[in-house]
Amino acid sequence: MRLLALGLFSLFALLGDLSAAVRTKVDLVNLTPDIRPGEKALIAMRFRCDPHFHIYWQNPGDAGQAPTVEWQELSGTKVGAFIWPGPKLIDQSGVMNFVYEDETLLLMEVAVPSDAKGTLTFKGKAEWLECDDSGCWPHDKQVELTVKVGAGNVPYKYDAKLYPALRPRLSTTASSDGKLLTVVLPAGDKLTKTWFPVRGFVSPTATAKQKLVGDTIVIELADATETLDSADLIFTTRSADGGFVDIKAVLGAAPSKPAPTPNTPAKAAGDWQPWSPEAQAKALADGKIVYVDFTARWCATCQVNKRVYTQDDVAKALTQAGVVMLKADWTKKDAVIANELGKYGRTGIPLNVFLKTGQPPAILSEALTGTEVLSALSAVSAGKPYQAETTTHSFFIWMLLAFGGGTLLNLMPCVFPMIGLKVLGFAKEAGAARSKVILNGLLYSAGVIASFLALALLIIGLKSGGSSVGWGFQMQSPGFVLGTCVLMIVLGLSLAGVFEIGVGLGGVSAGEGDGRVATFLSGVLATVVATPCTAPGLGAALGFALDKERSTGETLLFFTVIGLGMALPYLLLSMFPRLAAMLPRPGEWMESLKQGMSFPLFAYALYLLWVLNALVEDAAWVRDASLGLALIATACWVLGRWGALHRSDRERLTAKLVSLGLFGGTLAYLFATLP
């Protein structure tokens, strides 16, 4: 029982890294010593990132969001858009981004009124996304700058050659065959081979793989979020003097595309593109219907939903309607996706939505069916609303949705391993005093509800600190997923009879006091394994509960109701013995079921290892983790083989020391080397 308690509480302790402190200093600086009426001046937004942190260029790359400013006071001046310095390309385990590190100045041109005098004040709210290797966090800050009209201003120094917009633009030509873009190098200029696309007509991955062939740059067009057209293509690249220049490439002819035939669909249902705000906006601007699947590897409900896309009628309908299929992968923390979820009233996934310009979004239920996808597509295609405005629900209806969603969590695949354990518990309690059975039901329910309240408080605290978190957010923490994976292995081995941990989860013997604590902890465990799943109606209810307009008390009430809904079936079985009496009499079947239920736990551990592979994107570490899990299983076997009660005291002590050393050493190594 102590092992289970330590394991569960350690998992929640691993979530401490999700808090968000501001790691970028932001302010306004003046760049012009003499500010004269009727002339131009330069100011800048200054970003100073802590080591290992970065912000984003105007085209952020695979993920990210460029800084913005919303002006509140300009003293009658007109301030232009940001003038961007050239970016840096970084590769974060295959995710290519265009970023700024250390200190960056985003310049702005100011048109000073002809009647300006005294001082000019600039006030606004800066918003930016700062990231490091562990995640991203959105922040904002009120900034202010006051300058004198006339001489005497102390200018902040900047390097003008880093700003391509302040230098002459180069021109060249380009051609394309639909798969490759070939750009001719401007004559007489020594340029680096990495050309950053200002727009998404070239993917970040293709940017990193550009090839210099003779006097041309050859770039792949796969996975681009924008199509090539006859418009100018603008690139930014470094010049021989260490600065940056813009290159305008005029496309000779738009690439020809083969017309789709009935036997060759233009866009199959499985032909997904990565989601980005730019890709979504471009598709909608082109008059397309857009389908966005907000998903993650750790979201078990999301994985089950994907079976719908393989249905012939669904794939055919999506293809014939020319739907642009976008996948927003939230496996890792991504503030941009979290912000987008909030636009639909959600704080977690799954979320599946059809979009079309001029129409409200058609939000589908959390558990998809082919019929629902076809109905929503038909409504959107016909210009009809698919879903009534959710804001029309009363508070009571939202409470019912929360309660029903909590109850339905018991039918989700994440909670399946717990069902057999609880059945064992009720079967073993046959003939026990009714008061004891009811007490166990109440303790289990208390464990579930307490866990939901702890989760709610953690989410509230992190959101107040600026983190973009929601339901299932802990599954974005590699440490939490690893800890849960180890816990599933240990519990599975215990159920299989390899060793005994003395936990009354599913009828495993325990003392009276230990049994009560273990029953409470089994409710905690049920909540831990339930979070990767979302039941129908629960996603919308969670979005309402975590809305910024909800008070802390209302949010806690909602999570209490969700926990009560999840605990209800077991509470009813404990309070009404006749329901439990329908189970077979205690006997040999219970041991068979107990051992059989170890396999769903092992399957869940393998699923978590698959999730870890996506989170860390380090094949060598995943290999070590697989070997480490085998060593942890060996430690459990040693404890069960030589630590049993019939062994001598010396054998038992040796077994415990060897098992503890093997288990603790392996676990320490895995967490110490966790990417």
Average pLDDT, the chain: 81
Worst-scoring range by mean pLDDT, 55-59, 101-105, 457-461?
457-461
- Asked if pLDDT for residue 253 goes beyond 50, the answer is no
Query: In CATH, what class is 273-387?
Result: alpha beta
Alpha helix (H) ranges present in 234-334?
A: 277-285, 300-305, 312-320
What pLDDT, on the 0 to 100 scale, is given for residue 510? Answer: 46
User: For the residues 284-292, what does the mean pLDDT come to?
Assistant: 90
- Angle formed at CA 378 by CA 373 and CA 379, multiple of 5 degrees: 100
User: For the residues 482-491, what does the mean pLDDT come to?
Assistant: 88
What pLDDT, on the 0 to 100 scale, is given for residue 667? Answer: 92
Do 165-251 and 23-158 fall under one CATH topology?
A: yes
Distances in Å between the Cα of 576 and the Cα atoms of 283, 314, 406, 437 are 56, 45, 21, 10
User: For the residues 660-668, what does the mean pLDDT come to?
Assistant: 93
User: For the residues 632-646, what does the mean pLDDT come to?
Assistant: 89
Place 345 in a pLDDT band, splitting at 50, 70 and 90.
confident
What pLDDT, on the 0 to 100 scale, is given for residue 14? Answer: 47
Q: What is the 3-state secondary structure (H, E, C) of 326-389?
A: EEEECCCCCHHHHHHHHHCCCCCCCEEEEECCCCCCEECCCCCCHHHHHHHHHHHHCCCCCCCC
Residue 540: name the closest of 421, 408, 649 by CA: 408
Query: In CATH, what class is 165-251?
Result: mainly beta
CATH of segment(s) 23-158: 2.60.40.1250
User: For the residues 68-87, what does the mean pLDDT come to?
Assistant: 92
What pLDDT, on the 0 to 100 scale, is given for residue 570? Answer: 83
What pTM was estimated for this model as a whole?
0.53
CA distance 248 to 267: 31
- Asked if pLDDT for residue 110 goes beyond 50, the answer is yes
Name the residue ranges covered by the structural domains of the chain.
Answer: 23-158, 165-251, 273-387, 398-593, 618-675
What pLDDT, on the 0 to 100 scale, is given for residue 251? Answer: 80
- Angle formed at CA 632 by CA 628 and CA 635, multiple of 5 degrees: 140
CA distance 210 to 196: 10
Q: Express each pLDDT in 575-602 by its tens digit.
A: 876 666 666 666 677 778 778 888 888 8
Worst-scoring range by mean pLDDT, 158-162, 226-230, 486-490?
226-230
* Interacting residues of 618 by C-beta distance below 8 A, sequence separation 6+: 93, 675
Sheet containing strand 40-49, strands side by side: 24-30, 40-49, 103-111, 78-79
Q: Express each pLDDT in 492-550 by its tens digit.
A: 898 888 887 654 444 444 445 556 787 888 888 888 777 767 666 676 677 667 666 67
- Asked if pLDDT for residue 423 goes beyond 70, the answer is no
- Asked if pLDDT for residue 417 goes beyond 70, the answer is no
In this structure, how many other beta carbons lie within 10 angstroms of the beta carbon of residue 371? Answer: 12
31 and 122 Cβ atoms separated by less than 8 Å: no
What pLDDT, on the 0 to 100 scale, is given for residue 75? Answer: 92
CA distance 545 to 552: 9
What pLDDT, on the 0 to 100 scale, is given for residue 254? Answer: 40
